[in-house]
């Protein structure tokens, strides 16, 4: 009976010992196992076995992305403006061994490193750059934290500056500056519009004057061409007349007689009853008629 009880107790102890060597690790969790005080291995999600008493769990880490809050702090920019800033750091633990033995408190270390890096980077920037370059600041912080945390078994995935607060006096001055900048831009835009309108008007006047000068030039060319043609016609008529006069000596007398007869026809057709016209030399009319009769006779003979 005593042997049976001892056997049962021993069996129970063995069962308990064996059961305590079974480790079921949840998904997305890493457990660091030490054997006799030294690092032995890292357990991953699922069923694992250890040696009870000899092996023990040293630390546990989740592999999910974790959020670390950067404490609110006052930072001075390069242009000596004091601002209040805070942010968030997102990271994952990818090496439980390094996270256990390379750093005492991973989250606290990341938060402190983020604070010091943030102060250093803000100190290199003016206030305007700090407010308008959050993306650049986030990227710079992420690179700096990721390089430092790489040896701690963690990977920084993202850094976000959540809030930047400036003193009320500085904010009021910024609003005044923004208003002045808007008024300056409006004035410049108006001046630019007036300048463009003046240039357009001057260009229109220049084009108008050019067109008018071109029209005058074309009119002058037309008149000059007309006068040239008229002069050429008169020149040809004179040449022809000279040639006719050389061929017939009585041609000149013929023309003069023709003009005299035409003049006397005009005088004869006048309705005036109070005028008596006496030619200076009456025989000239008779001579003109005889000349005209001779020329016509020669012309008939020529035909």
Say yes or no to pLDDT of 158 above 50.
yes
pTM: 0.53
Query: Which of 10, 7, 48 minimizes the C-alpha distance to 26?
Result: 48
**Topology (CATH level 3) of domain 64-166:** Tetrahydropterin Synthase; Chain A (3.30.479)
What does 172-192 look like in DSSP terms, one character per residue? HHHHHHHHHHHHHHHHHHHHH
Question: What pLDDT score was predicted for residue 263?
Answer: 67
Domain with CATH 3.30.479.30 in the chain: 64-166
Helix (H, G, I), strand (E, B), or coil: what is residue 89?
Answer: strand
* Rg value, the chain, Cα: 60
> What are the backbone angles phi and psi of residue 241, rounded to the nearest 5°?
-65, -40
Strand order through the sheet with 66-76: 66-76, 82-93, 154-165
Say whether 234 sits in a helix, a strand or coil: helix
pLDDT of residue 81: 83
Can you tell me the distance from the alpha carbon of 130 to that of 17, in angstroms, rounded to the nearest whole number? 61
Whole-number pLDDT of residue 276: 53
- Average pLDDT of the residues in 273-290: 52
Question: CB neighbours of 267 closer than 8 A, spacing ≥ 6?
Answer: 277
| C-alpha to C-alpha distance for 96 and 61, rounded to whole angstroms | 7
Q: Which two tokens stand for residue 40?
A: 């032995």
pLDDT, tens digit, 9 for 90 and up, residues 180-228: 888 888 888 888 888 888 888 888 888 888 888 888 888 888 888 888 8
pLDDT, one tens digit per residue, over 64-103 is 899 998 888 888 888 888 888 888 999 999 899 998 998 8
- Higher per-residue confidence, 300 vs 229: 229
Q: How far apart are the first and last CA of the chain?
A: 182
């Amino acid at each position: 009976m005593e042997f049976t009880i001892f056997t049962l107790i021993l069996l129970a102890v063995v069962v308990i010992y064996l059961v305590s060597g079974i480790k079921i690790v949840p998904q997305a969790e890493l457990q660091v196992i030490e054997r006799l005080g030294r690092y032995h291995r890292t357990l991953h999600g699922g069923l694992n076995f250890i040696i009870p008493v000899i092996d023990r769990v040293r630390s546990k880490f989740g592999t999910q992305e974790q959020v670390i809050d950067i404490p609110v702090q006052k930072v001075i920019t390069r242009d000596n403006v004091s601002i209040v800033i805070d942010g968030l750091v997102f990271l994952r633990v990818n090496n439980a061994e390094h996270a256990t033995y390379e750093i005492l408190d991973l989250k606290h270390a990341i938060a402190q490193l983020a604070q010091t890096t943030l102060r250093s980077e803000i100190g290199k920037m003016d206030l305007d750059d700090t407010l308008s370059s959050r993306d650049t600041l986030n990227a710079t912080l992420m690179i700096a934290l990721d390089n430092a945390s790489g040896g701690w078994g963690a990977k920084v995935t993202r850094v976000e500056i959540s809030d930047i607060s400036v003193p009320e006096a500085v904010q009021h001055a910024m609003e005044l500056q923004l208003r002045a900048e808007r008024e300056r831009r409006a004035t410049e835009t108006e001046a630019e519009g007036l300048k463009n309108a003046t240039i357009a008007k001057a260009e229109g006047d220049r084009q108008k004057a050019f067109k008018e000068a071109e029209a005058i030039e074309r009119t002058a060319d037309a008149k000059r061409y007309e006068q040239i043609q008229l002069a050429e016609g008169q020149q040809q008529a004179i040449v022809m007349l000279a040639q006719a006069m050389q061929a017939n000596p009585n041609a000149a007398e013929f023309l003069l007689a023709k003009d005299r007869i035409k003049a006397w026809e005009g005088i004869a057709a006048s309705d005036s009853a109070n005028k008596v016209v006496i030619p200076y030399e009456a025989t000239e009319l008779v001579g003109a008629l005889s000349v005209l009769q001779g020329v016509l006779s020669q012309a008939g003979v020529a035909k």
